[in-house]
Amino acid sequence: MEIQVFTMDSFTNLPFKGNPAAVCPLAHELNDDLYQKIAAEMNLSETAFVTPINPSDTFTSGSRFCLRWFTPTVEVNLCGHATLATAA
């Protein structure tokens, strides 16, 4: 399985500045253990995982998505800078 992971810097327009977060756009949901392992591997304050709510949607055709955030050790309820990074 190949998973794309992007490292994004929020709150800046300069490389290596701002607040970094990993963003993983996924075609479908994964199991929680795999989310946690990916976040631990990225070792950033948060990793955001985004999936289409409707399984037939894609990132170009869909309009609603599910967003989950993980630190290297646990899932968190919300992360502002990772949410903004995902929107980029």
Per-residue model confidence as pLDDT tens digits over 1-22? 799 999 999 999 999 999 999 9
Is the entire prediction scored with pTM above 0.85?
yes
Q: Which CATH architecture has domain 6-12+19-87?
A: Roll (3.10)
Distance CA 29, CA 3 (A): 12
d(CA 57, CA 15): 32
Rounded CA-CA distance 3/37 in Å is: 12
Catalytic: 46? yes
pLDDT at 30 over 90: yes
pLDDT at 1: 79
- The per-residue pLDDT of the chain, averaged, comes to 95
pLDDT of residue 60: 84
pLDDT over 90 (residue 50): yes
> Of 2, 29, 41, 46, which one is the catalytic site residue?
46
